[in-house]
Amino acid sequence: MKQREVWVLHASVGGGHKSAARAVARAFERRAPGMPVRVIDALDGMTPEFRRLYAGSFDVGVAHTPTFYGAFFHATRDLDRSAAFRAARTLYNRAHGRRLLEMLRLGRPRAVVCTHFLPLEMALVERRRGRLDAPVFGVVTDYVAHGLWRQPDADLTFCAPGRARHDLRRGGVPARRVVVSGIPIDPVFAAPHDAVASKRAAGLDLARPTVAVLAGGAGMGPLVEVVERTARAVDGAADLVVVCGSNAALKARAEAAARGLPGRVKVVGFVDPIVELLRGADVVVTKPGGLTTSEVLALGKPTVFYEAAPGQESANARFAADLGAGLAAGSPQATGEAAAWLVRDAAARQALGARARRVGRPGAALGSPTACSRGSGGRPRSPPPGWREAGRTADRAGVRVAPPPPLASTRCRTTTRGPWCWRLARRSRPPRATGAWPTSRSRGRSARAAAASCTRRSPTMGASPSSRARG
């Protein structure tokens, strides 16, 4: 008898949902090698008109009208509470997704794991009508959960720590069905590695620091301006590797701009796998997509986030910045200054990287096989024993990642001593410790002194979890 498959459904809107689905599938290969897994793009089961409108509106909104996209994101966050909206959305999805619904009925998957809310909603509707006999799991791929992720009858909903869990609970998802596991990334990010060997494998100069500048898998955002400002701020002190994703037009513009910039600037397109480049990079400058943010945190890389689109990306950058695990610079000018500060100050890189490593959860995907392999016959169930710790297990060898420190807060804001600051403070106390990276207006304050001040005066930097709890 043929063994039933586990289906991992995503939607090709941006690159993060597909990357998360692939990460879950690879986790199954490691944890449940005998279980067949199939990764499916849910938009392949929708009508061509629906696909063009769904994917095209996202690309246009993020790339050309980010302010409108952010306003739409926030205005619709609680529309899931409207019964009329849910009914209209169900009818619309059903009219355009007959092929996907037929696949779910005839394919008889053992379990359905959804890294996008569209297939999650459609699968649950089919199960409520008795046409799908399988447990259905949701996997939130950002550090905030839009209202469409809130499906109370999903067997489990996996999410990142922080605001995403609060959003799900506030929308009526029972606490026993919310699992704070982290965002699933490829299990290879949990494997031990040698930085020198990674530099050599990625073709990087072993004698010079490297700044990796990323624009996400789809190649969006003001990448060219960020590269120009970063290259001029670094001024030849480091090599730049610019990853433009699948956007060929962006790659051509970046190559043209790189010819007139100081230092060595290498421009590439889509890189898969990108893990060796990220391992070898000394500083990462990136858009704060959910998967990219999770990957750099898992590797413990000092990271500068630039110009997040209002909505989920701004929440991703805020999550890392609030825990002292990244710098949310925002504008290209501030991004270049922050990257140059980190390039020239090894102590600052080490401190920021250590915080990122403690916050990251590289083993977030590895618990999926534990939950899905047990199955539930299509009936909701509580999380399996030990699941909450499984998401923090890096691999079978027992590599552990400490839970994120709950008391630290880092924010970047304008100050009189410079355009941006790195602030570390306990949530229970007013912010006290402040350090700034040097700029033309910072009155000569050295970057090393600023980093030492942040590290020395931060009440949580380097402290053990028990000591933070006592404080």
Q: Is CATH 3.40.50.620 the classification given to domain 6-185+363-390? A: no
Percent of the chain with pLDDT over 70: 77
Long-range contacts of 97-105 (CB under 8 A, 24+ apart): 97/42, 97/45, 97/46, 97/47, 97/50, 97/122, 99/44, 99/45, 99/46, 100/42, 100/44, 100/45, 100/46, 101/45, 101/126, 101/131, 102/45, 103/40, 103/45, 104/131, 104/132, 105/131, 105/132
Cα separation values, 156 from 4, 5, 125, 371, Å:
20, 19, 16, 9
Residue 404 pLDDT: 33
Amino acid identity, residue 293? T
Residue 304 pLDDT class (50, 70, 90 cuts): very high
pLDDT at residue 447 is higher than 60 = no
Which range, of 7-16, 408-417, 441-450, averages the lowest pLDDT?
Answer: 408-417
Amino acid identity, residue 171? G
Three-state SS for 378?
coil
Residue 300 pLDDT: 93
Residue 428 pLDDT: 26
How far is the C-alpha of 215 from the C-alpha of 286, rounded, in Å? Answer: 6
Residue 23 pLDDT: 92
Q: Which helix (H) or strand (E) holds 6?
A: strand 6-10
Segment 28-54 mean pLDDT: 90
Percent of the chain with pLDDT over 90: 51
Tell me the pLDDT tens digit for each residue of 261-286. Answer: 999 999 999 888 899 999 999 999 99
Cα separation values, 405 from 122, 185, 461, Å:
37, 21, 10
Alpha-helical regions (H) of 171-311 = 195-201, 223-234, 248-258, 275-280, 290-299
Residue 278 pLDDT: 94
Q: Is CATH 3.40.50.2000 the classification given to domain 189-361? A: yes
Closest CA to 434 of 412, 405, 406, 462: 412
What pTM was estimated for this model as a whole? 0.77
pLDDT at residue 96 is higher than 80 = yes
Which range, of 261-265, 327-331, 403-407, averages the lowest pLDDT?
Answer: 403-407
Query: Residue 143, Cβ neighbours under 10 Å: how many?
Result: 29
pLDDT at residue 367 is higher than 60 = yes
Tell me the average pLDDT of the chain.
Answer: 78
Partner residues linked to 37 by β-bridges: 6
pLDDT at residue 393 is higher than 60 = no
pLDDT at residue 386 is higher than 70 = no
What are the start and end residues of each CATH 3.40.50.2000 domain in the chain?
Answer: 6-185+363-390, 189-361
The sign of the dihedral angle between the CA atoms of 71, 72, 73, 78 is positive
pLDDT at residue 34 is higher than 70 = yes
